[in-house]
Every structure is written in structure tokens, then in C-alpha cells.
């Protein structure tokens, strides 16, 4: 346990930040899973909506520094490829 007041404060701040980051990352994972389920279910409208939603969340997380911007861009590109592959198999 820290003895210095500023160290105690840092522990509290770190716990808050960790909880926030964890919640945002969990939300990201859920949105990506929703997109994957929509693509697997061949639901074009739901897949497009889920893609936009997931991309927006990825950009927000990258801007806040929760994930790296290159990781966000890589995930967005892979989701777009998955959606296009799903469209090709349908039509």
C-alpha cells in the first residue's frame, strides 16, 4: 500500500481508467460479434448497420487511445472484406 498521498490518488485514478477502458473494449467486442453474426446470417441490412456501428466505435476507441489506430483500421478493413465476401456469395 502506498504511503504518499499522490500515489494513493494514482491508484484510484488507475482503477477508474481501467474500468472505463474495459467497458469500452467489451462493447467493441460485442459490436464486432454482432457484425459477424449478421454477416453469417446473410442479413445485408443488419450487416451494413452493424458495420457502421462497429467502425464508429473503433474510431472512437482509437481516438481515446484505448486501442491503437492501426488496430482499429485493420479491424475495419477486415470487416469490410468480410461484408463484401458475404455479398459476393449471395449475388
Per-residue pLDDT band for 91 (boundaries 50, 70, 90) equals low
Rounded CA gap, 84 and 27, in Å?
24
Model pTM score = 0.84
Each residue of 12-70: pLDDT tens digit?
A: 999 999 999 999 999 999 999 999 999 998 888 999 999 999 999 999 999 999 999 99
Rounded CA gap, 89 and 80, in Å?
14
Per-residue pLDDT band for 85 (boundaries 50, 70, 90) equals confident
Look at 29 and 86; give whichever has higher pLDDT: 29
Rounded CA gap, 91 and 88, in Å?
5
Amino acid at each position: 500500500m502506498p504511503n504518499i498521498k499522490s500515489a494513493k490518488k494514482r491508484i484510484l485514478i488507475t482503477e477508474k481508467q481501467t474500468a472505463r477502458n474495459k467497458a469500452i473494449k467489451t462493447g467493441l467486442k460485442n459490436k464486432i460479434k454482432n457484425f459477424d453474426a449478421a454477416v453469417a446470417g446473410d442479413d445485408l441490412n443488419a450487416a451494413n448497420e452493424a458495420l457502421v456501428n462497429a467502425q464508429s466505435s473503433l474510431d472512437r476507441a482509437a481516438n481515446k487511445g484505448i486501442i491503437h489506430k492501426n488496430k482499429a483500421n485493420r479491424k475495419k478493413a477486415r470487416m469490410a472484406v468480410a461484408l463484401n465476401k458475404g455479398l459476393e456469395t449471395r449475388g
